[in-house]
Structure 1
Amino acid sequence: MADNSSLVGGESLRWQINEQVPIVQILVMIFLCINLMLITTFFKKECFYKTTRYILFAVTLLSDSFLLFMSNIMLILSCFRLTMPVWLCIIISVVVLLYFTVTPVTLTAMTLERYVAICMPLRHGELCSQKSTVNCILIIHGLSSVPSIVVLSIFFASASHSFYTQYRVCSVKIFILYRWQDHIRAGVFLIYTMLMCITIVFCYVKIMKVAKAASGENKSSTWKGLKTVILHAFQLLLCLIQLLCPFIETAVLQISLELFLNVRFFTYLTFSLAPRCLSPLIYGFRDETFFNALKSYVCFGLCKI
């Protein structure tokens, strides 16, 4: 009886994985196609790659596309328990961790750009020039690399040389050899979370004050900017909740493997895929200039076909 039960449980889990993986593949492909279409539209018009908010928007699209692609591969490898050398997993995980952090940091930078545009319009051209934007992108990647450097440093200090030649299922959790390493990683992300939340709240309060004082066309533009900040805040919240997912999944794994697969599937859809599909919504479809360029590009493509 025990053997039959075990067999039925194994078949159930295999069916569950076989059902969930294709759903994720379809969703990832849809989001990647949309992102590719938006990135192509971005490079079609010169005004887009000379404007700060559109450049930062393109950075989020590229970052999200890369992250979706790589995390999807890691998900497939994990589901089917496929192993690889630890040294190769380290390289992949560090890059994934970098771009996992790039998106929320870029969203914070985009919120600051909206704050400058609405609350300091006379200085917007000076502070958000093309040169400043390039520097901003370098700063974003520099700040985003700090968690990767911290995690990597404590891992190198703790792992033995033989560990790098072993074959393991690739996951960011491979870096966590001791409980204190997990605490340090959580502390770093908590500091980032607090700083980003403070920045979002500060920008929201300042823009709200300007929105109340504005009138006519100015008021409409300001309220639109405020809605953009709210959407950024919601997107950022989903990205930040994703930081807590590994702790939840670890606790659930102690209860049941089947429940763990369900929870991981839900968290991947809600806190990994969902925030990445909000970027096209905020600047791709809500922005009139970009949306018109997108429509023009899509129609031209259809006519050409």
Structure 2
Amino acid sequence: MQNLTEPPGNATSTKNVSIIVKVCVVIPFFCVFLYCILLMLHTFASHRQFFDSSRYILFTYMLVNDTLQMLLSVLLFLFVMGSVNFPLVFCAPLLFLSTATFQNSPLILAAMSLERYVAIFYPLHRPVSWRPERIWVIILSLWIVSCILPTVDFILMRPKADVDVLSTPVLCKTAVINSSPIQTLFKVVMNGLFFAVVAVVILFTYIRILLETRKMRQDRVSVSKALHTVVLHGFQLLLSMTAFTFPITESLIVLHISWLQEHIAFLNYFCFVLLPRFLSPLIYGLRDESLRNHMKRAVPCCRARISPHKATKN
């Protein structure tokens, strides 16, 4: 009722302030994320030994995928905040890539868990496709599978009668191409299937490696590290799945706090889309001692703290 009694000028001013605050929260956060990711990618590019390991190659691919997903997500967010409309022919590729990169994230986690499984159980006779020089076959397969959902979305897309794909400006949101009940059902089923398969793969590799730690008397340290890595992938999967909690969180917030729908949507976007994408690569990357040491040398303020003796040792 308060919004109905406010003068139009005050309502507009309040909305503008809300938009500015949201943008000022998202942009610095994204810049910090981008700096950390670029630092990791620079570290990989500067030390070729990382590309002799399938694990690091897959991790680099995850960094690139998450960066692209975050970039597209923030770009679409800014378009919505600024009420920028443009034809569907330009909006569709952005939505396609955003959905494909989102689907790719859990698949990469599954591939990384399987890589640890292969490294433990087949250290000397690793399958050809899992070797560093052929890991691009796995990466290409993941990208093809992740494009299934957005491709079907566009095949089933039926724009409104008054919307011309080439000329009618629209607000670039998922609802523009995902308005059919069939599309919604297909999307729910596919998302559930994607995450269920990944969860099964991570659980399988965890149990097998856990059983292996009880059998092996030698090299228990590397097996234990692999076990911890798989557990971390499970945690990353849980972070990715938080994006599907929108309906639950929106219902809980509405019950306890009388917020506007746009404020609830922003809170969900920040907490369950941006934040997990930010934490996932950082938790995994900074946990790796070798990568962490090389990253410290690349940062000027940390480089001075590393003694020459320690740098030579590493």
Q: State how 1:123-142 maps to structure 2 within 5 Å.
A: 123-124=125-126, 126-142=128-144
**Which range moved further: 161-170 or 82-91?**
161-170
> Quick check: 235-244 or 78-87, which moved more?
235-244
Total equivalences in the alignment? 300
Amino acid corresponding to residue 46 of structure 1 in structure 2: R
| C-alpha distance in structure 2 between counterparts of 1:276 and 1:52, whole Å | 22
Question: Where does residue 117 of structure 1 map in the other structure?
Answer: 119
Q: In the alignment, does 2:13 pair up with 1:50?
A: no
Question: Retained in 2: the 8 A contact 1:13–1:258?
Answer: no
Taking only the aligned residue pairs, the percentage that are identical comes to 25
**CA deviations over 1:192-217 (Å, ceiling 9, x no partner):** 1211111111111111111233346x
Q: Which residue of 2 aligns with 1:241?
A: 242
> For the structure 1 residues 257 and 106, does the alpha-carbon distance in structure 2 shift closer, same or farther, using more than 3 Å as the test?
farther
Output the CA distance in 1 between the equivalents of 2:73 and 2:112. Answer: 24
TM-superposed CA distance for 1:64, in Å, is: 1.1
CA distance in 2: counterparts of 1:278 and 1:150, whole angstroms: 30
1:3-41 Cα distance to aligned partner (Å, 9 max, x none): 533645554443333212211111100000110111111
Does 2:31 align with 1:25?
A: no
Work out the CA distance in 2 between the residues paired with 1:259 and 1:161.
Answer: 29
Q: Which of residues 26, 34, 43 is equivalent to 1:41?
A: 43
Partner Cα distance (2:3, 2:25) in 1: 32
Residues 59-105 of structure 1: per-residue CA shift (max 9 Å, x gap): 11111111111110111111232211111111111111111112221
Asked if the contact 2:253–2:264 (Cα under 8 Å) also holds between the matched residues in 1, the reply is no
Gaps of 5+ in 2: 305-314
For the 8 Å contact 1:116–1:123, the answer to whether it is kept is no
Matches within 5 A, 1:168-207: 168-207=170-209
Q: What is the CA-CA distance between 1:300 and the residue it aligns to?
A: 10
Structure 1 segments of 4+ aligned residues over 6 angstroms from their partners = 249-257, 300-303
Shift in Å at residue 179 of structure 1?
A: 2.0
Q: Is the 8 A contact 1:228 1:282 kept in 2?
A: no
Identify which range, 256-265 or 169-178, moves more after superposition: 256-265
Matched, 1:219 2:224: no
Report the 3-state secondary structure (helix = DSSP H, G, I; strand = E; otherwise coil) of the residue aligned with 1:151: helix
Q: Distance in 2 between matches of 1:257 and 1:138?
A: 46
Q: Equivalent residue for 1:286?
A: 287
Residues 266 and 250 of structure 1, relative CA distance in 2, 3 Å threshold: closer
Task: Show the counterpart of 2:271.
Answer: 270
Determine the structure 1 residue equivalent to 2:312: none
Q: Secondary structure at the match of 2:124?
A: helix
Cα pair distance change 1:169/1:47, threshold 3 Å: same
Give ranges in structure 1 of 5+ residues lacking alignment. none
- Residues 300, 188 of structure 1: alpha-carbon distance in 2 compared, 3 angstrom cutoff: same
Retained in 2: the 8 A contact 1:61–1:279? no
